[in-house]
Amino acid sequence: MLNRGQGVGLAVVGAVLWGIATSAGAAEAEKLYANLGESTRAPIGWVEFCNDAPKECHRGATQPRDIVLTPDAWRDLLKVNRWVNKTVKPMTDKDHWGVVEKWSLPTDGHGDCEDYVLLKRKMLIDAGWPREALLVTVVRDKQGDGHAVLTVKTDKGEFILDNQNENVLAWTKTGYRFMKRQSQSDPDIWVALDDNHPAVATASSR
């Protein structure tokens, strides 16, 4: 999925979107990064996931790192987001596992929002991206329901990989209300978010 030999069409789209992303900061410099609050409780299912798959959690304190958002990096984000969204078929945890909430990698090709996030995160980490820049994030959609997305911390702001959108958007453009996410310095610590902008969502959770 991360091969450089992609078609001209995707390259052009990636370059255009990267240009939009890099210009977004000039208009909304104060909103490039979400405001962090106090530490808070991990979302339901995270601790159990780490117990079941400890290698995926990379426990232990580290130094925060942001991605340098080059055109190649932008294209990689687009490819990973679109490939996972196209490949994994949506299925609720109740239908999938018979329980209300279960976080897992979608190894059988089915999952709900957090499972999409975990696979995107894994693919990027396996491709050499730093874990500290790839943060599992909990938001609220326009119905007020919980939804999981992947925040990518870059030198040009925070961008969101979402199973409800094939494009990678600046966090302020998603319309979601941001609630909490992993700490950059320790994936076992979760911090509250204060986004200070209206939650007019463009998609419902699934």
Q: What is the pLDDT of residue 145?
A: 84
Residue with tokens 């942001």: 66
What is the pLDDT confidence band of residue 198, given thresholds at 50, 70 and 90? very low
What is the pLDDT confidence band of residue 25, given thresholds at 50, 70 and 90? very low
| pTM of the model as a whole | 0.82
∠170-172-176 over CA atoms, to 5°? 110
Q: Topology of domain 8-194, per CATH?
A: C8orf32 fold (3.10.620)
User: What integer best gives the mean pLDDT of the chain?
Assistant: 84
pLDDT at 107 exceeding the cut of 70: yes
d(CA 98, CA 111): 13
- Please state the rounded mean pLDDT for residues 132-161: 94
Most confident region among 38-52, 55-69, 191-205 by mean pLDDT: 38-52
pLDDT at 197 exceeding the cut of 50: no
pLDDT digits (tens, 9 = 90+) for 47-103: 999 999 998 987 778 899 999 999 999 999 999 999 999 999 999 999 999 999 999
Nearest to 58 by CA among 182, 161, 141: 182
∠143-145-148 over CA atoms, to 5°? 125
pLDDT digits (tens, 9 = 90+) for 5-19: 333 333 333 444 445
* Contact indicator for 110, 88 with CB cutoff of 8 Å: yes
